[in-house]
């Protein structure tokens, strides 16, 4: 059983937390292999976080597709979201969201939001974490933490697509601060640790050695690909030839990065990479969640 711990009032430097305005929501999911299929055996929630019933578009013996729902559609000052998912040995879960997540402008007091995600994958289990993109409004302040704990021969593929500001409405991201933390471990040993502050007032935001003024960034990661060098070569041959993305492998983690100015381009790149990698990764063709097409 997985226990869901609500986000604690830990806010990065420069953020203000108001304990009197701590609006928490949590969701804890557990997936297990039962009777030849992956079953969602636990779905505990508090506040406005839910899941739709599981889908099996690839067949009952294949991946269990689940849509994570946050009815408010975004985070405002004081919100604290915690999502945890545990995949037991032999199970295969694919999690996604029905729409983009929005990070709204902080209130007049500058109170921050928090969003914590913890994914745990046991030996011989598979998890695909494929949320739709996140859009940060100008003035948004908060902290995102993602922790992935893998065990044994666990397989995990996921992505994070972040768009800063709303250029189409001439509302760029010129104020606020979002701090991102990512931690991926295998049997307790770190494979990839990363911390990134997104602060338009910091020199790295506009500097060519940092963000370079880019408004959209994306990271796709994959663990468990048998022949990563061949997979990288296939991606380089098939994906668009432009300077906005690069791919590498470190400590057994395949990492594809995008840095540019187009949400659509970043999303299409991640989706195409997933479609190319999945047959090499788990010997199954990609099956696009139908919610992406609505």
| 240 vs 125: CA distance, rounded Å | 32
Q: Look at residue 209 and tell me whether its pLDDT is greater than 90.
A: no
Read off the pLDDT band of 6 (50, 70, 90): very low
- With bands split at pLDDT 50, 70 and 90, how would you rate the model's confidence at 208? confident
- The pLDDT-based confidence of 90 (bands split at 50, 70, 90) is very high
Q: Which residues pair with 94 in a beta bridge?
A: 65, 128
Torsion of Cα atoms, 273 then 51 then 127 then 264, to 10°: 10
Q: Rounded to an integer, what distance in angstroms lies between the CA atom of residue 139 and that of residue 137?
A: 6
Residue 148 near residue 57 (C-beta atoms within 8 A): no
pLDDT-derived band at 20, boundaries 50, 70, 90: low
Let me know: does 282 contact 157? Beta carbons within 8 Å. Answer: no
Rounded to whole angstroms, the Cα distance separating 223 from 155 reads: 5
Residues across the chain: 294
Spatial contact of 115 and 75, defined as CB atoms under 8 Å apart: yes
Would you state the pLDDT for residue 294?
85
Is 67 a residue whose pLDDT tops 50? yes
CA-CA distance, 82 to 46, in Å (whole number)?
10
Phi then psi dihedrals of residue 34, to 5 deg: -135, 130
pLDDT, position 22: 65
Residue-wise pLDDT for 127-163, tens only, equals 999 999 999 999 999 999 999 999 999 999 999 999 9
Say if residue 113's pLDDT is above 90. Answer: yes
Q: Is the pLDDT of residue 11 over 80?
A: no
Which residues have C-beta within 8 Å of that of residue 283, sequence separation ≥ 6? none
pLDDT at 147 (0 to 100): 98
Nearest to 127 by CA among 153, 157, 98: 157
Task: Return the structure tokens found at 211.
Answer: 């963000």
Sequence-distant (6+) residues with CB within 8 A of 293 are none
- Least Cα distance to 92 among 31, 1, 148, 158 occurs for 31
The residues facing 21 across adjacent strands are none
Predicted pLDDT at 284: 96
- Is the pTM higher than 0.85? The answer reads yes
d(CA 216, CA 204): 15
Supply the mean pLDDT for the chain: 92
* SS3 assignment, position 269: helix
Report the percentage of the chain scoring pLDDT > 90.
Answer: 88
Average pLDDT score over residue span 213-219 = 96
pLDDT on residue 168: 84
**Tokens matching residue 259:** 């840095």
Question: Which residue carries 């296939």 as its tokens?
Answer: 234
Indicate if the pLDDT at residue 2 is higher than 70.
no
Residue 5: pLDDT above 70? Answer: no
pLDDT bracket for residue 4 (50, 70, 90): very low
Scanning the chain, the segments in alpha helix (DSSP H) are: 203-206, 228-238, 263-282
């Amino acid at each position: 059983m997985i226990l869901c711990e609500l986000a604690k009032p830990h806010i990065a430097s420069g953020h203000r937390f108001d304990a009197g305005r701590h609006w928490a929501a949590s969701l804890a999911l557990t997936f297990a292999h039962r009777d030849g299929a992956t079953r969602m055996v636990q779905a505990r929630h508090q506040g406005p976080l839910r899941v739709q019933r599981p889908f099996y578009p690839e067949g009952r013996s294949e991946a269990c597709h689940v849509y994570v729902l946050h009815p408010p559609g975004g985070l405002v000052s004081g919100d604290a979201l915690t999502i945890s998912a545990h995949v037991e040995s032999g199970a295969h879960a694919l999690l996604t969201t029905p729409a983009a997540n929005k990070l709204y402008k902080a209130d007049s007091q500058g109170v921050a939001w928090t969003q914590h995600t913890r994914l745990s994958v046991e030996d011989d289990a598979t998890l695909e974490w494929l949320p739709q993109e996140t859009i940060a409004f100008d003035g948004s302040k908060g902290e995102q933490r993602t922790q992935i704990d893998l065990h044994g021969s666990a397989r995990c593929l996921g992505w994070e697509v972040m768009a800063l500001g709303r250029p189409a409405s001439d509302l760029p991201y010129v104020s606020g601060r979002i701090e991102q933390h990512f931690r991926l471990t295998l049997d307790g040993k770190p494979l990839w640790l990363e911390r990134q502050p997104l602060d338009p007032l910091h020199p790295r935001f506009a500097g060519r050695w940092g963000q370079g003024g880019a408004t959209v960034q994306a990271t796709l990661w994959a663990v468990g690909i048998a022949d990563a060098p061949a997979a990288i070569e296939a991606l380089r041959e098939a994906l668009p030839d432009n300077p906005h993305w690069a791919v590498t492998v470190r400590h057994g983690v395949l990492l594809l990065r995008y840095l540019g100015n187009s949400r659509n381009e970043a999303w299409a790149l991640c989706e195409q990479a997933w479609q190319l990698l999945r047959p090499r990764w788990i010997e199954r063709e990609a099956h696009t969640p139908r919610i992406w097409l609505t």
